[in-house]
Amino acid sequence: MSRTVDHRERRELLADAVMRLAATRGLEAVSLRHVAAEAGVSTGMVQHYFRTKDEMMTFALGMVVDRIRERSQAAAVPTSPYRLVRDLLLEVLPLDETRRLENHVVLAFLAYAAVKPSLASGLRESAAQMRAFLADQVRAAGRDGVDPERAAAGLLALVDGLGLQLLSRQLAEEEAVAALDAQLALLLGPA
């Protein structure tokens, strides 16, 4: 009797290993051999699913984006633009171990993509989708004098900066959330 192999599950197992390595040891530790050791599988299995390090990194980043999207959709209660935006941006901030790991992966990927621009296209697409969603919510809030596109870009920049300060322990979680809430109140009105 043959066993059915869940290829998506195996790719996710390997991507989780990539994320752990990138977060704990940096991208230089992400190689087919190191990922195999971290995942407890053979190098041949890793090569079966990913021909190159670039493929592994791109898949791992896609997983991070998908997980953030799934968590924010599960948490979202469509009560107001303010709540939708806040819930989404809180899922991006490194406020727990899972999100810290994800933020490390995103930072590692950004550094990697800076020297390999061909890898940045997926990242640009995700960022554009998020900016469009945020701009739509800002527009729906209907605040006079607020440019939705600029507000969306500013919110993403704010969250990126807060994330860096949280990862480097320059800012406490409560302070980061308070800074986010203050900016949301300015752009979208009170909660």
Write down the pTM of the prediction.
0.80
86-97: per-residue pLDDT in tens? 988 998 999 998
Task: Judge whether residue 3 has pLDDT over 80.
Answer: no
Euclidean distance between CA atoms 167 and 43, whole angstroms: 32
The b-or-e profile of 4-35 (16+ CB within 10 A means b, else e) is: eeeeeebbbbbbbbbbbbbbeeebeebebebb
Question: What CATH number is attached to the domain comprising 153?
Answer: 1.10.357.10
The DSSP-derived string for 143-167 is: -TT--HHHHHHHHHHHHHHHHHHHH
Contact 63, 86 (CB under 8 A): no
Does residue 157 lie in a domain region? yes
* Strand, coil or helix: 69: helix
Q: What is the mean pLDDT of the chain?
A: 87
In a domain, 23, yes or no: no
Has residue 180 been placed in a domain? yes
In which residue are the tokens 């900066």 written?
161
- Host domain of residue 159: 53-188
Mean predicted confidence (pLDDT) in 62-79: 77
Cα 155 from chain centroid (whole Å): 15
Q: Is residue 25 part of a domain?
A: no
Residues, the chain, total? 191
| Of 43, 52, 59, the residue nearest 11 (C-alpha) | 59
* Number of domains making up the chain: 1
Residue 1 CB burial class (10 angstroms; 0-12, 13-18, ≥19): exposed
- Residue 76, pLDDT score: 61
Q: Residue 35 domain-assigned?
A: no
Q: pLDDT tens for residues 38-62?
A: 999 999 999 999 888 888 888 888 8
Q: Is residue 172 part of a domain?
A: yes
On whether residue 115 sits in a domain, the answer given is yes
Query: What is the C-alpha separation between 15 and 35, in angstroms, rounded?
Result: 8
Confidence at 111, pLDDT banded by 50, 70, 90: confident
pLDDT digits 0-9 by tens, 130-183: 999 999 999 998 888 999 999 999 999 999 999 999 999 999 999 999 999 999
Cα separation, 107 vs 113, in Å, equals: 10
Say if 21 falls within a structural domain: no
